[in-house]
Amino acid sequence: MEPQVQRLVDKVWKKFQETPQDRRLCIQSIANLSPTSKTTLAQTLTNSLNSLSRQTSPSSPPPASFIPMDGFHLTRAALSAMPDPATAHARRGAPFTFDAPKFLSLVQSLREPISDSSSSSHPGTIYAPSFDHAVKDPKENDIAVLPTHRIVVLEGNYLALDRDVWRDAAALLDELWFVEVDFEVARKRLRERHVRAGIVNSLEEGDRRAMENDLVNGREIVDFRLPVHEVIQSREDGSWVHE
């Protein structure tokens, strides 16, 4: 594991050891431009924490859970019901195309003391939506945060955005991280990702979408960023550097 990632794992593990048993430690991992870098870091962090738990306490259940923000996209039907549906669909991925109040509600639930009575079949479980890329819409209640999940890693572009509702959610988190990506690196990753996801049919179309939507959103993320605890740079070769 790279030294900077190991440092973050060690930091979170130490804070986890200091967290009361009836509380969760919530970390937000955010990228300014590139979706792949923040997801990679969030998944690596989650997997590494669970691996560390197995090493220190083999009989204990995995303590870390990962929630991407993709599940909080507004549905295509909701975008079509907006005053300017063409713009809403073209700008899908911009802050106004996400259900920020719903995300805030999830974070508020995660901050409550861990309960054993919220669900008869899975006591204390909190459910979050995922995103179904096949139908290109959220899938409700698809991610289960169990009472044993006492570390929650949340990942998404707007989790450090100094805008209404988003800042309220950010204020509830124990740690707020920001992943910086060079503009051209992000542009390359985005256009390739759009092709892989079936959003566009060619790299040329993917590049146009990146320039006209994703990187426009990225400027807002950078210009209206809240203060964060960690800034990590994602290099072109996939390595990480801490500022």
CB-neighbour burial class of residue 228 (10 A; exposed 0-12, middle 13-18, buried 19+) = middle
Q: Of 39, 180, 157, nearest to 92 (Cα)?
A: 157
In a domain, 207, yes or no: no
Q: Which amino acid is at 138?
A: P
pTM of the model: 0.86
Report residue 242's pLDDT band, with 50, 70 and 90 as the boundaries. Answer: low
Q: Tens digit of pLDDT for each residue in 115-167?
A: 754 444 556 899 999 999 899 999 999 999 999 999 999 999 899 999 999 99
Q: Tens digit of pLDDT for each residue in 3-44?
A: 888 999 999 999 999 999 999 999 887 766 655 566 788 999
Helix axis angle for 183-196 and 215-223, nearest 10°, is: 130
In a domain, 217, yes or no: no
In a domain, 212, yes or no: no
Q: What is the pLDDT of residue 226?
A: 95
Alpha-carbon torsion, ordered 101, 106, 107, 111, to 10 deg? 140
Q: Tens digit of pLDDT for each residue in 60-80?
A: 999 999 999 999 999 999 999
Q: Of 92, 45, 96, nearest to 68 (Cα)?
A: 45
Q: Higher confidence at residue 146 or residue 183?
A: 146
Q: Which two tokens stand for residue 41?
A: 């870091």
**Region 196-222 average pLDDT:** 81
In a domain, 192, yes or no: no
Helix, strand, coil distribution of the chain in percent, nearest 5: 45, 20, 35
CATH code, domain with 13: 3.40.50.300
In a domain, 159, yes or no: yes
- Name the domain count of the chain: 1
Q: Among 40-49, 76-85, 223-232, which range has the highest average pLDDT?
A: 76-85
Report residue 179's pLDDT band, with 50, 70 and 90 as the boundaries. Answer: confident
Domain coverage including residue 13: 3-183+227-235
Q: Tens digit of pLDDT for each residue in 86-125?
A: 999 989 989 999 999 999 999 999 999 997 544 445 568 9
Q: Which two tokens stand for residue 195?
A: 């092709």
Q: Higher confidence at residue 67 or residue 193?
A: 67
Q: What is the pLDDT of residue 119?
A: 45
What sign has the CA pseudo-torsion 32, 214, 108, 43? negative
Q: Do 203 and 195 contact (CB within 8 A), yes or no?
A: yes
